[in-house]
Structure 1
């Protein structure tokens, strides 16, 4: 059954490529750059006409239904046409080097961040990041979330490893918005890994509920909660709750635990943060 489903969505992708709905590019120098659970993200060089562009790439989950693949690729295509300065660009689709037609895999290609993720950028610039840069990033992040919400899209997966810095500008990772590119079990694992950013309401749902049921409880307000945590991280230059020991951090957050106010915060930052 899984093979049949994969065969159907592969045919759908190939039809979309033939119709010009999605761009197809070759690549070279593929390298694994990150792994969360069983989900891998790769870096490669995309060949576009005479130009070579560094991109990040990710396999489309083999266990997804045809409907899920269609929905997520249509959303990526929509994001491409948004052409928003604060959301990473979706370039198109490519095919892996596998010679086994029964294991045919497609990958999505997106903008690469030369400054790494926001988390990496803050760690690498922890001693000299001027408030003007933090203020710029905070405004760009707020505008990106505002734009998504105006389009009736909910991110649901905001954290500092899911935001890139490219050419000194902050951008939401488009793959984070289309989180079903991963199997649902990986989404659940991902939220657990970044629980300090997740709306506490998510963890109040009974454990017997499916990952999709839990995901459906996340709303625009959930994004705003995550945004608040990210703005705190930008201002403090450290990970939330990283300075204290917590025996059960998830439970404490559910019961109302929040990070402390930041001393010496720039006055221009306060209106955004509050």
Structure 2
């Protein structure tokens, strides 16, 4: 017989568990919904400490309400068994994802981390520290949404858990917890930041920063040892992303991020500015605390014990030994004074030398093409050897244009100053996945996981694709586009269509209309009829407006009489000469099989404020050609002529006030 709790929660299967509790998939028979039920293990039901911890989890979770945190529905006790009823998440844990697909792509790992940050920031706002942030406690829904669970719970001791030596309270899983947790020191929100850094490290390398033969050895490594830096294990990680991990994993809490929102701020810009200087911990910021109460044993003497030992040793020194010690002290004082004098003199001459270097007026070259930017800086008086250029993906400026400079301009700088220019390599592009035949929800989740955020759907008729599944996408599968590209999913609405009215149309016109309605032309019969010659006078077996299966054949009767010419017939003479496009440009010298396609671009400005519009096109004739650079104050339209060949794909990018707003792939 199926077990039921509280008269409404019907337990089904075990879906997880730990040393303290078991998690079941269950059905809430009152509300008819699937839930997860966490039950305290029977052996702990009589242990007041474990029951209190179980209640603590329920109380902590009840204070939180956030889309990235597993919701708590109910708590209770049935036949002496304590349980918590929570939201059921139909998806794997992040640990499963790393195990199956790790290392994860950078953009996917950043998206997951941003959602974890949102969840933990919400918890910290409510003065709740998770203390056990790890991939096992992070669930991923089928739509790619992150759900953090296990808030406020202190787990029972397992092989990978550290406990406090005084009260045996569990402080976290050893591979993911912070140095202060290893020491048994006060835990704060910055402890969760450290654990988040370990999770990022594992997502991007599929390895843990520290491992060992026992929990104690791993804890000691968190306290004292350095780890292999992520980029050594995965060179695809940008420096900006590694910097975030390194800053989260600083052993001193004071040198980590201030809070989760500060972490997310860097995550949001990491791919915009990927090539930042490497983050380094200040050399004077090494944590000197070496007492490790959480590990349980004395590893070495504390600072106070070492001082006591020094005093005892000093009492045993002989007078000659004391004299030698005094001379050594005086010698070191002399050396320090000499170094200080040399340093002061060196600094004086360096400062005087710098002061004599003339200043130049550094211009602001952001938004300029690279060649022009370099020329302007050279003209200001800075040699080209001091101008350093670095390319990076950027959606704010077209390819080849400067999107940032250091130092910024305009300002006065020394003519010996190095200038760093950051030049756009174009917007970062990713491949549109092949979604044909996939359910619409799953397709949208896939696009979201790949980094696409601007997705809409459009219903289309399809005979071969089931209702609700994707027929195709626009841009099509395997196209390389920017993440902000508008993706349209064509969703099958089934295999039925409505018969259009083709009375009075020619056979050619009727054929096109029927094909557009996903219907076929059946038998065409000539009939003597008092109507314009060649026009449709009868349809069979269906009439206009009837709903029929797509692909149905419609028979047509065509008027045949001697009253005159068929509708639409005309004659005329063509003249020789060069073929030209709408702008009059000769097409004689274009590549073979060139197809000319006009594209209309419209930019609307309902506010009436001035907008600087730049339009860049790439086709078989030119690459990254700026065809429009204009300031508008009202809605404007331009006709762009594209030259396409079977082996090339065109592209039009529209920038408004320097920001990429539209990105159109143009097919042959």
Shorter-chain TM-score above 0.5: yes
Deviation at 1:139, TM superposition (A): 0.7
Q: How does 1:4-43 map to 2 (within 5 A)?
A: 26-37=8-19, 39-43=20-24
Residues of 1 paired with 2:218 and 2:57: CA distance?
32
Q: C-alpha offsets along residues 173-214 of structure 1, whole Å, 9 cap, x if unaligned?
A: 0xx21214x56x577469688312111122224xxxxxxxx6
Residues of 1 paired with 2:182 and 2:98: CA distance?
28
Deviation at 1:136, TM superposition (A): 1.3
Local SS of the residue matching 1:196: coil
Are the counterparts in 1 of residues 171 and 181 from structure 2 also a CA contact under 8 Å? Answer: no
Local SS of the residue matching 1:161: helix
TM-score by length of 2: 0.30
Residue of 134, 151, 154 corresponding to 2:126: 151
Residues of 2 paired with 1:251 and 1:57: CA distance?
33
Deviation at 1:264, TM superposition (A): 1.0
Local SS of the residue matching 1:134: helix
Distance 1:26 1:145, change over 3 A: same
Q: C-alpha offsets along residues 106-148 of structure 1, whole Å, 9 cap, x if unaligned?
A: 2101223322221012212237x54332221011011111221
Q: How does 1:179-190 map to 2 (within 5 A)?
A: 179-180=153-154, 182=155, 188=162
Distance 1:234 1:138, change over 3 A: same
Provide the residue aligned with 1:73 in structure 2. 58
1:59 and 2:40 aligned: yes
Provide the residue aligned with 2:91 in structure 1. 115
Residues of 2 paired with 1:268 and 1:255: CA distance?
25
Deviation at 1:56, TM superposition (A): 4.2
Provide the residue aligned with 2:70 in structure 1. 88
Are the counterparts in 1 of residues 35 and 87 from structure 2 also a CA contact under 8 Å? Answer: yes
Paired residue total: 225
Residues of 2 paired with 1:219 and 1:163: CA distance?
20
Are the counterparts in 2 of residues 25 and 46 from structure 1 also a CA contact under 8 Å? Answer: no
Residues of 2 paired with 1:135 and 1:147: CA distance?
18
1:194 and 2:194 aligned: no
**Which 5+ residue runs of structure 1 have no aligned equivalent?**
1-23, 99-103, 206-213
The structure with the largest alpha-carbon Rg is 2
Local SS of the residue matching 1:120: helix
TM-score by length of 1: 0.68
Local SS of the residue matching 1:132: helix
Provide the residue aligned with 2:81 in structure 1. 105
Which structure has more strand as a fraction of its residues? 2
Residues of 2 paired with 1:44 and 1:188: CA distance?
29
Distance 1:224 1:139, change over 3 A: same
Which structure has more helix as a fraction of its residues? 1
Local SS of the residue matching 1:158: coil
Are the counterparts in 2 of residues 30 and 42 from structure 1 also a CA contact under 8 Å? Answer: no
**Which 5+ residue runs of structure 2 have no aligned equivalent?**
1-5, 164-168, 243-265, 271-278, 280-668
RMSD, aligned α-carbons = 3.4
Q: C-alpha offsets along residues 66-106 of structure 1, whole Å, 9 cap, x if unaligned?
A: 86666543333222xx2x0111111213555x5xxxxx112
Are the counterparts in 1 of residues 28 and 35 from structure 2 also a CA contact under 8 Å? Answer: no
Residue of 161, 186, 192 corresponding to 1:223: 192
Provide the residue aligned with 2:27 in structure 1. 46
Residues of 2 paired with 1:148 and 1:95: CA distance?
26
Provide the residue aligned with 1:165 in structure 2. 140
Residues of 1 paired with 2:36 and 2:55: CA distance?
22
Are the counterparts in 2 of residues 154 and 220 from structure 1 also a CA contact under 8 Å? Answer: yes
